[in-house]
Every structure is written in structure tokens, then in C-alpha cells.
Amino acid sequence: QVQLVESGGGLVQAGGSLRLSCAASGRTFSNSAMAWFRQAPGKEREFVAAISWTGGDTRYADSVKGRFTISRDVAKKAVYLQMNSLKPEDTAVYYCAAREGFRSTTERMYAYWGQGTQVTVSS
């Protein structure tokens, strides 16, 4: 069982940066692949970034590639999303997710979810 709590969201101007954090608890975190998804108003939740349980394998949505970086600290049981060069279209609720096994870009593959943190990018 893994419990996830996101933090770090807020309001930022276009071109700015934010760092999201996801604090995990539970025995299986070190063996869990982690990911960030987001959901904008009126849209379906979409994949943003994923990282393997070793941290050596990452994957990004094309829309954020080169601007966002996912990382994890197994000792601190945390995963991060560094977001640079933010755009108004990045406005969404960002969710942290975890699954046992290999990393995936598919929402339904993740069994554990946080409550989400709001990111708003003004133009």
C-alpha cells in the first residue's frame, strides 16, 4: 500500500517555474514506478511524466519534453516534478501516481493516486 500527498502547486506567470513534490508513505515505495498526470478544466486526465523505481528510466509527454524534469529520492520517499518555462496551457490539477512494477504512461496502470495540487499559469 502506498499513500501519496502532493505539494508545491500555485500561481505563476508564463515563463516561470514551479517544483511539485509528492511525499509517499508505505512499504512498497522503493519498488514502485511513479508518474505525474494532470487534468485541465473540461479535459480528461493526461500523462505528464513517469520514472522507474530505480530512477534510471524516465518518460515525458511531448508537450512537456525539454521543460519538465521528473526525479525521485528513494531515501526520502519522494518524487518531484521540476517545471520550467511554464505556459498557460500547463494550467491543471497535477496528480502523483504510483504502481508496482515498470513505469507506464497509461493512467489505468496506476493503482495509487494523490489528491492533486493546482497549478495555474497566467499569461
pLDDT of residue 82: 98
Neighbours of 11 (CB within 10 A): 12
pLDDT of residue 28: 67
Are the CB atoms for 17 and 121 separated by under 8 Å?
Answer: no
pLDDT of residue 10: 97
Q: d(Cα 105, Cα 110) in Å, to the nearest integer?
A: 9
Q: d(Cα 1, Cα 85) in Å, to the nearest integer?
A: 35
Question: pLDDT tens digits, the chain, 123 residues: what are they?
Answer: 789 999 999 999 999 999 999 999 887 667 889 999 999 999 999 999 999 988 889 999 999 999 999 999 988 889 999 999 999 999 999 999 999 888 999 999 999 999 999 999 999
Write out the DSSP string of 104-118.
-S-GGG--EE---EE
